[in-house]
Amino acid sequence: MAQVLYIVSSSPFSGKNLVSLGCYRKMESDKLSVGIFKPIGVYPFEHEGSVGDEDAMFFKKLLLLKEPIGDICPVVMTEALIEDVLAGEIKKLTKKVDEAYKKVAHDKDVVIVPGIGDLSAGSMFGLSELDLIDKYGAGVIMVGRLDKHLNESLDSILFAKKSLGNKLLGVVLNRVPQDRVRWVHDRIRPFLASRGMDLIGIVPEDSVLNAVSIKEIRDTLHGELVIGRDKQSDLIETYQIGAMQVESALSHFRRVKNKAVVIGGDRQDVQLAAMETDTKLLILTGGKYPSDIILSRGNAQGIAILVSKEDTKTTAHKLEALLNYMSLRNENKARQAQTVISKSINFSLLYDKLGFKVV
């Protein structure tokens, strides 16, 4: 019978997929037979005449999973599904998930389940994280983020411990600044241990993992990419706002690499200054299109140019929110995830808790 490893989080966008992907690759390299199962998907898309989940499809393609997408993720949250549930179709969903799980778990040593939220997520479908953890007898990893809301992450982790008891195998703290790794080891690890929890992973901040693709930026801003359609998979690590006078712009832009610069569409002087530095993407705000000079320079230097209809403040706010969301739907990031997780999680301790004897 397959052992189920359920990955839950203390807050949205904490890194469940990151940990799931890294665990899959490490366990696969250790000669375990591993499956991925996502009972409920929350990112619907059309696939071969039916609805699939984008995260599940990404896992399927990247990991070369043999199971059909409908078995990897049997339930996808859509408006139509919600209407069905309100009409009393919960029993059919439970049966659908049970049948799909049996297919994925067949001949597997371990099945990794990336959750969709906290322990209550999925309750309206009769498929809460907590219900499924109990049903599968799963061991659980809780992923939290170390940021300015550390107290909220710790509150969620401590509360989850009350609900999960010994099912909680360990905690992974993600996106830990490099200069805080030692502090987390010295202060947070013993704090959790005093509450009966093991900190099995400290994942440091990583510029590649924290980056977003130009395509993700385009989609988030609903912008028009006027140059650089061949660069949509390129990763942007950070951004700057070009709201200063041109005299100080160059020194400002030279401080940051691999960046996007958000600039008013009418500020050609500052746009040119940004293009003299390590800039991958110009985001011109106010719905104003670039001049011929900017277009020519962008083509010559390989800089993508995106036009946003929003003002500079709104555009920057949306970009900031996007950079706080860690998506792995990019092969460069997925490869980096595997490397980072294999180094950051104590797999010897995890295997011991799961009852695996790995040589």
Q: pLDDT digits over 90-132, tens only?
A: 777 888 999 999 999 999 999 999 998 788 888 888 889 999 9
Instruction: Kindly indicate the confidence band of residue 326, based on its pLDDT and cuts at 50, 70 and 90.
Output: low
Residue ranges covered by each domain of the chain = 3-209+326-354, 212-323
pLDDT band per the 50, 70, 90 thresholds, residue 298: very high
Edge to edge, the sheet with strand 238-241 lists: 224-227, 304-307, 279-285, 259-264, 238-241
Structure tokens at 112: 């990794």
Per-residue pLDDT, 10: 75
Plot region of 228 (φ>0 → left; ψ -120 to 50 → alpha; else → beta) = left
Which of the four pLDDT bands, split at 50, 70 and 90, describes residue 137?
A: very high
Annotate the chain with three-state secondary structure.
CCEEEEEEECCCCCCHHHHHHHHHHHHHHCCCCEEECCCEECCEEEECCEEEEHHHHHHHHHHCCCCCHHHHCCEECCHHHHHHHHCCCHHHHHHHHHHHHHHHHCCCCEEEEECCCCCCCCHHHCCCHHHHHHHHCCEEEEEEECCCCHHHHHHHHHHHHHHHHHHEEEEEEEEECHHHHHHHHHHHHHHHHHCCCCEEEEEECCCCCCCEEHHHHHHHHCCEEEECHHHCCCEECEEEECCCCHHHHHHHHCCCCCEEEEEECCCHHHHHHHHCCCEEEEEEECCCCCCHHHHHHHHHHCCEEEECCCCHHHHHHHHHHHHCCCCCCCHHHHHHHHHHHHHHECHHHHHHHHCCCCC
Q: Do domains 3-209+326-354 and 212-323 have the same CATH topology?
A: no
**Are the CB atoms for 263 and 199 separated by under 8 Å?**
no
Beta strand pairing status for 279-285 and 304-307? parallel
Cα distances (angstroms) measured from residue 293 to each of 210, 259, 269: 32, 21, 11
Contact between 109 and 33 under an 8 Å Cβ cutoff? The reply is yes
Which CATH architecture is the domain 3-209+326-354 placed in?
A: 3-Layer(aba) Sandwich (3.40)
Note the pLDDT of residue 325: 66
| Whether pLDDT at 147 is above 80 | no
b/e burial code for range 93-130 (CB count within 10 A of at least 16 → b): bbeebeebbeebbeebbbbbbbbbbbbebbeebbbbbb
0.95 cut: is pTM over it? no
CATH superfamily, with its number, for domain 212-323: HprK N-terminal domain-like (3.40.1390.20)
Q: b/e for 228-243, b at 16 or more Cβ within 10 A?
A: beebbebbbbbbbbbe
Tokens 């401080």, residue?
A: 255
pLDDT at 150 over 90: no
Q: pLDDT value at position 359?
A: 60
Cα-trace Rg, the chain: 22
* Least trusted range by pLDDT, from 41-55, 172-186, 267-281, 322-336: 322-336
Q: What are phi and psi of 135, to 5 degrees?
A: -60, -45
What pLDDT is attached to residue 149? 66
CA 36 from centre of chain: 16
